[in-house]
Structure 1
Amino acid sequence: MGKLFRSYFESFGGLRKEIWLLSLITLINRAGTMVIPFLSLYLTRNRGFSLEEVGWILTFFGLGSVTGSWLGGKLTDKIGHYKTMALSLILSSILFVLLQFPSTFWSICIGIYLVMTVADIFRPAVFVAINAYSKPENRTRSVTLIRLAINLGFSAGPAVGGFIIATAGYNGLFWVDGLTCLAAGILLLKLLHPKRARVEPEDIIVQAKSAMQDKLYLIFILAMMIFGFIFIQYFSTMPLFYADHHALTEFEIGLLLGLNGLTIFLFEMPLIKFMENRKHSVTGYVIFGTILTGLSFLVINLTDWVGVLIVGMLLVTIGEMIAFPFSNSFALKRSDGKKRGSYMALYSIAFSVSHIFGHNSGMQLIDNFGFKFTWYTMLAFAIVACILLLILKGLLKKETV
């Protein structure tokens, strides 16, 4: 047992102090975004919108995410990751508080769009910050530590969010979101100065190749869009499945979503350290993670036993634990010597586009064809993403010959 614990803690060794500070800031920020997993329930139950209307509102969620990711990439290349992250955290703290006040369809659409635009400016900047503060040999584990912070936040956030809804109502979530974003911004300004970066901001090659000129990277981005499309169902349409089909309460849904973050917190870093030492390719690992995510939709269709929801959550969690760190590492490595802000913005945009189409399409599919058909559709999309990644894997081998 002692050897097991030593092995676990050794998997965190060798990471720079700045990466730990960046993880702490990310943890505080993500713990506060507890309103996001409950957004579909908030809009249907508290605001009285139909599933079709919620689908369109969540489309604006995705549009704002795309705008923010694109703008974040531009700002990161212009003013650096530090100022970009600070700007995002402080402004989004104000906008999260204000989001509780719109009540009409279009005012909520605009509010969601503005919040996500400002909040997702943070995403390309934090990816570039990981590269700036980490050693090249620890890049994947640095990414994994940031993801651990994100998922620990998501582990605590939904559970606490469900409790807040039960005691203080949905409005309390918006205040907590705003205050935690502000706290994360203050910590960033106080603790993480850009002079501590291993790579100075000036190393960005302004005239270098951009992501849109890299055809193989575009295939990778398309596969990530599809992967994101199916993955985000667990945080928009899946809570409706839990509530409507299995009659779970908000608190129970929060605990189930929290299982995702807790599992990642406990097991992702040792798993990534173990997999890094194997001889498999990065794209091969992303394919494996995508397969597991697709299977999570298959198993919940096989039985109405409520325990299968835990099985499905564990499958998607393991798939996420594998696919996200290695896909992120692939994007960072592919951006070496190029316009890093451009590459990481496009990586972020892949998942933002998934938000545009994923939430709305999922809602429309459920409304018209039901949950079972929708989950089989997600399985089919997972197969398509795997095919694209297999094509990419073959082309990458030719590229290195």
Structure 2
Amino acid sequence: MVKFLKIYINSFKGLSAESWMLALVMLINRSGSMVLPFLGVYMTDHLNFDLKSAGIVLSFFGIGSVVGSWFGGMITDKIGEFKVQSLSLFLSVPMFCLIPLFHTEVGLAAIIFIQSSISEAFRPANSVAVSKYAKPGNVTRAFSLNRMAVNLGFSVGPALGGILAAISYDFLFYSNAIGALLAGLTYVFFFRNRSYRNKDKINKTADPKAISPYKDTQFILFAAACFMFSVCFFQLLNTLTIFYKQEADLSAQTIGYILGFSGVIVVVMEMIMVQIAEKYLKLKTTMFLGTLFCAVSFGMLAADTSIWLLVVSISILSLGEIWALPFMATITSLRSGTHNKGAYMGLLGIAFSLSFIITPSLGTFIAENFGFTILWIGTGILLGITAVAFYYIVPWMIGNKNSEE
């Protein structure tokens, strides 16, 4: 146990103060992100929307995420990630406060779309900041630290949101506003006069003319593979929980324990596993193995619904997530140039945002019409194909290198 703790602590060594502060800002911001898990309940329970109307409004959140990722990436390259992150955080404050004032489907869809577009513009700018402030050789671990902050924030946020919703749904929106405000103040106070650590580091693998990522055929193929991965993986947030309830007959409490266990694995193991991958594996191998682990995890669900298998499956899925998601950002950073990093991060964000729109309806459609067994087998096969795609696309884009190069 003592040896493990030493290894765990050592995995954080070498991370810059700026990386820690960016993670702190993300933690504060995501701890306040308690609206989304309860937005559907708010519309059906408080505003008396039917399920179809609530689903339409929720789709506008996904559409706003796509627009925000695109626009945030574009303007980051023009005005810098400091201004984009600051504006996104501070403009989110009044948007959250305005949401309770809208009670119709059209009005709520419009304000949710605007709020989502503003808040999601933060993501590509934040990714650019992580890559620029990380010490050389620690880019992937800096992204992993940020992901850890996101996971911790989403653990705290929904729990606090449940308490506030029991008092008043309006408190959810006002608390989100306070979280965005605190994150914005923390960010501006610490980063307003900071210099980049990688300011003069020019990526030799990127096009010297700094082309648009939307004209970069190799990166578009990589983004498409990331999209396929996210469509499969993010069933974790919707279809998988329905499967736990309907097919495995688990209680809501047990489902919460399983998902919480997944979060613990990610928080405890991510920095260690990322450090191992950085030292011993090529990026193509890490992406291949991480995606393959996810394929095995979903494929296992077609075999049985016993609790032990579900726990093993979610454990493998968590390990696969660790060796896939943070390295996607690293590969994007390596592929992009000095002046188009925001646009590249924005396109990667769009790949994920599109999956948030498609995954819930596609997964439930297949499960309802063909059964969960077909869904999980199909998911496993698609992830297996995606793993092979990563294995060949990554070296084609950036060569055979690991994340420390």
TM (normalized to structure 2)?
Answer: 0.86
Deviation at 1:215, TM superposition (A): 1.6
Partners of 2:287 and 2:324 within 8 A in 1: yes
Give the C-alpha shift of residue 101 in structure 1: 4.7
What secondary structure sits across from 2:138 in the alignment?
helix
Indicate the SS of the match to 1:136. Answer: coil
Residue 233 of structure 2 aligns with which residue?
231
Alpha-carbon offset, residue 321 of structure 1 = 0.9
CA contact (8 A) 1:206 1:339 kept: no
CA drift of 1:265 comes to 1.5
Matches within 5 A, 1:75-224: 75-165=75-165, 167-168=166-167, 170-200=169-199, 208-224=210-226
Partner residue in 2 for 1:258: 260
**Aligned-pair identity (%):** 34
Residue 391 to residue 201, structure 1, CA distance change in 2 (3 Å) = closer
> 1:344: which partner in 2?
345
Deviates more, 1:80-89 or 1:94-103: 94-103
Q: Distance in 2 between matches of 1:294 and 1:163?
A: 36
- 37-46 or 296-305, which deviates more: 37-46
- Counterparts of 1:1-400 in structure 2, within 5 Å, are 1-40=1-40, 43=43, 53-165=53-165, 167-168=166-167, 170-200=169-199, 208-245=210-247, 253-278=255-280, 280-337=281-338, 339-393=340-394, 395-396=396-397
Q: Partner amino acid for 1:382?
A: L
Q: Contact conserved, 1:62 with 1:356, CA < 8 A, in 2?
A: yes
Stretches of structure 2 that go unaligned for 5 or more consecutive residues are none
Offset from partner CA, 1:220-267 (integer Å, 9 cap, x none): 100001111122222233344445555666665544433333322111
Distance 2:53 2:368 in 1: 11
Which secondary structure does the structure 1 equivalent of 2:236 belong to?
helix
CA shift digits 1:263-303 (9 cap, x unpaired): 2211100111112110x321221122222223332333333
> Quick check: 371-380 or 140-149, which moved more?
371-380
- Tell me the SS of whatever aligns to 2:34: coil
91-100 or 139-148: bigger deviation: 91-100
2: CA distance between counterparts of 1:195 and 1:72? 21
Amino acid at match of 1:190: F
Q: Which moved more, 1:105-114 or 1:266-275?
A: 105-114
SS at structure 2 position matched to 1:137: coil
CA distance 1:17–1:191, shift in 2 (3 Å): same
On the 8 A contact 1:80/1:201 being kept in 2, the answer is: no
Tell me how far 1:369 sits from its aligned partner: 4.3
Amino acid at match of 1:155: S
1:175-219 residue CA offsets vs partner (Å, 9 max, x unmatched)? 332221221111111122253322459989995222122221111
Deviation (angstroms), 1:58: 3.6
SS in 2 for 1:303: coil
Change (3 A) 1:243 1:92: farther
Deviation, structure 1 residue 372? 4.1
Distance in 1 (CA, whole Å) between partners of 2:66 and 2:148 is 24
Q: 1:201 to 1:64 in 2, by over 3 A?
A: farther
Structure 1: stretches of 5+ with no match in the other structure = none
- Aligned AA (1:25): V
Q: CA distance change for structure 1 residues 360 and 52 in 2, over 3 Å: closer, same or farther?
A: farther
Alpha carbons of structure 1 residues 50 and 368: separation in structure 2 relative to 1, 3 Å: farther
Q: Distance in 1 between matches of 2:34 and 2:180?
A: 11
Deviations 1:282-337 (A, max 9, x none): 12211222222233323333333345443333222211111011111111111134
Contact 2:72 2:120 in 1 (8 A): yes
Alpha-carbon offset, residue 48 of structure 1: 5.6
SS in 1 for 2:35: coil
Supply the AA of the counterpart residue of 1:341: G
3-state SS, counterpart of residue 297 of structure 1: helix
CA distance in 2, matches of 1:369, 1:291: 24
Q: Give the counterpart letter for 1:287 in structure 2.
A: F
CA contact (8 A) 2:77 2:339 kept: no
Change (3 A) 1:164 1:260: farther
